[in-house]
Amino acid sequence: MVQKGRLIEKIAELLNDKKLPLVADIRDESAEDIRVVIEPRARNVDPALMMESLFRLTELESRISMNMNVLTGGLVPRVLGLNEALRAWLDHRRDVLLRRSRFRLGQIEKRLEILRGLLIVYLDLDRVIKIIREEDEPKTELMRVFELNEVQANAILDTRLRALRKLEEMQLKTELDELTKEKGQIEELLASEPVQWKLIQHDIRQVKKLFGPETAIGKRRTSFADMPDTTDIDLTQAMVEREPVTVVISKKGWIRALKGHVQDQSTLTFKGDDGLKTAFFTETTAKILVLATNGKVFTLEAAKLPGGRGFGDPIRLMIDLEEHAEIVEAFPYRPGLKLLMVTTDGRGFVAPADDVVANTRKGRQVLNVDMPVEALLATPAEGDHVAIIGQNRKLICFPLTEVAEMSRGKGVRLQRYKEGGVSDAKTFKLADGLTWRDTSGRTWTVAQAELLEWLGHRGEAGRLPPKGFPKNNKFGG
């Protein structure tokens, strides 16, 4: 039910719209047989990935849904399973067989009645012809003389004289015997359900022989094959042209994607008194993870973000964010990445990024928080130590291994406070020292040997940070 010309035209339109980045060209090389050549973009393109993208976007694959909501018995609407539907079909076949047999039985009985009348008059055809010629009411006379009923008399009168003269007793008796035998078979069929099912079985086998796969009528025009495993295939790469973009998020939660990697962010403009919250480089094929204060993580596709010509769109329009919740931060998703998730009361845990990706607008609940506690940050857990500083300006560093790894929960105590909560946290490699960026943009580094007095264990209070640490209590990336 797919026209080849329409299919090729549709694929060509997708190519022009850059929706099939893995396909370079399509050619029609059909002669007597249909041959459509699809050329990949490069030699290293995964054929399964390329074909899966074509199946998703074109009529190379057509799925027909079947809703088996039927009237069972012609009266009651029901949704049937395959077994019930087959049973209903077999019952229908039996019903047709019985009605067909009863109809044929009625025809036979009518013909037998006529044949018996013809056999009676056959013995004296000359008298029959004389009655027909001379009597004013031949039908009544025939019925009286030969003891016929009205049906038999009408059958004789409806027969032409020439046909009456050609009647032969053997032909009449042969037809009578054959019909009598057929009548007995039908009566036996109607009286026995096993015989009925045996005949239905025979009929179905005859249909199978006629339309079976080995016949010219029933042979398949296509072949069966095992469907490739597509569970690990990221179709975003197959359906979206991979291009560099810069994702920009404003303080009021507006998001947009600028083409290319924009190094100078000072040229960015915002609506009214809005300003820059965060900006990062990624690609159109990437997913964007968004953390909200209610502890939920939402997933956006970079390819579907609004362009950079305007101010973008509010993230709230793209996700189902509760009214009291706010956007904390956003960052590109990387497979295999682990995240340090922290709440305002100093609790947290390490979560695999693969476990926080959400497939719906409702997002995924990762941090379990109860007001007034909120989710504070999610930062890549790529080092071997955690540095955390509180609003009380106390800093503590401890091994990352002391932080529990889980997909969801409240987490463990990272830092202890008498009052207040967390200001900022990050992970780092102890061998490289602890770094931060001040408000002037300068980077400071405290070597491992100088960090000894801040090294401790999870849940401790810590002490005042080293000289030069920003007054806003932030590591500044």
364 and 472 co-located in one domain: yes
pTM of the model: 0.59
Does residue 169 register a pLDDT over 80? no
Segment 280-287 shows an average pLDDT of: 87
The reply to whether 40 and 85 lie within a common domain is no
Q: What sign does the dihedral 133-134-138-141 (CA atoms) show?
A: negative
Give per-residue pLDDT as tens, 21-45: 888 889 999 888 889 999 988 888 8
Structural domain including 296 reads 241-332
Burial profile 149-159: b = 16 or more Cβ within 10 angstroms, e = fewer: eeebbbbbeee
Asked whether residue 10 is domain-assigned, the answer is: yes
Pair (398, 434) in one structural domain: yes
Q: Is the domain of 399 the same as that of 446? A: yes
Task: Please give the mean pLDDT across all residues of the chain.
Answer: 87
Q: Which of 305, 332, 359 corresponds to the end of one domain?
A: 332
What whole-number distance in Å separates Cα of residue 310 and Cα of residue 267?
13
Same-domain check for residues 47 and 88: no
| pLDDT of 165 strictly over 80 | no
The band of 400, judged by pLDDT with boundaries at 50, 70 and 90, is very high
Task: Dump pLDDT digits (tens) for 86-109.
Answer: 998 999 999 999 999 999 999 999
Please tell me the distance from the alpha carbon of residue 436 to that of residue 428, in angstroms, as a whole number: 11
Amino acid type, 361? R
Q: How many domains does the chain have?
A: 4
Domain identity same for 122 and 201: yes
* Domain harbouring 14, CATH code: 3.30.1360.40
In a domain, 67, yes or no: no
| pLDDT attached to residue 44 | 81
Domain contains 133: yes
Bridge partners for 77 per DSSP: 71
Residue 259 has pLDDT above 90, yes or no: no
Q: Is 229 inside any structural domain?
A: no
Rounded to an integer, what distance in angstroms lies between the CA atom of residue 315 and that of residue 327? 8
| 141 in the same domain as 206 | yes
174 and 193, same domain (yes or no):
yes
Q: Where on the phi/psi map is residue 156: left (φ > 0), alpha (ψ -120 to 50), or beta?
A: alpha
Domain boundary pick from 303, 332, 361 = 332
Of the residues 286, 308, 332, the one at which a domain ends: 332
Q: Cα–Cα distance between 134 and 289 in angstroms, integer? A: 108
Confidence at residue 16, expressed as pLDDT on a 0 to 100 scale: 87
Q: How far apart are CA 327 and CA 374, in angstroms?
A: 11
Does any domain span residue 233? no
Each residue's pLDDT tens digit, 337-353: 999 999 999 999 999 99
CA dist., res. 417 & res. 391, Å (int): 9
**Pair (472, 340) in one structural domain:** yes
CA atoms within 13 A on the CB side of 325: 26
Q: Which amino acid is at 38?
A: I
Domain assignment present for residue 216? The answer is no
For 431-472, the pLDDT digits (tens) are 999 998 887 878 889 998 889 989 999 999 989 999 888 888
CATH number at residue 415: 2.120.10.90
Report the pLDDT value the prediction gives residue 187, as an integer from 0 to 100: 94
471 & 338 share domain: yes
Q: Which two tokens stand for residue 244?
A: 């560099």
113-163 pLDDT, tens digit each: 988 888 888 778 788 888 888 888 888 988 988 888 999 888 888 877 666
425 and 359 share one domain: yes
CATH code, domain with 159: 1.10.268.10
Q: What pLDDT shows up at residue 342?
A: 93
Torsion of CA 153, 154, 155, 161, to 10 degrees: 90
pLDDT, residue 386, reads: 93
User: How confident is the model over 68-75, as a mean pLDDT?
Assistant: 82
Q: Looking at the domain assignment, is residue 70 inside a domain?
A: no
Q: Which band of pLDDT confidence, cut at 50, 70 and 90, is reported for residue 232?
A: low
User: Which pLDDT band, with edges at 50, 70 and 90, does 238 fall under?
Assistant: low
Residue 63 lies in a domain: no
Query: Does one domain contain both 424 and 303?
Result: no
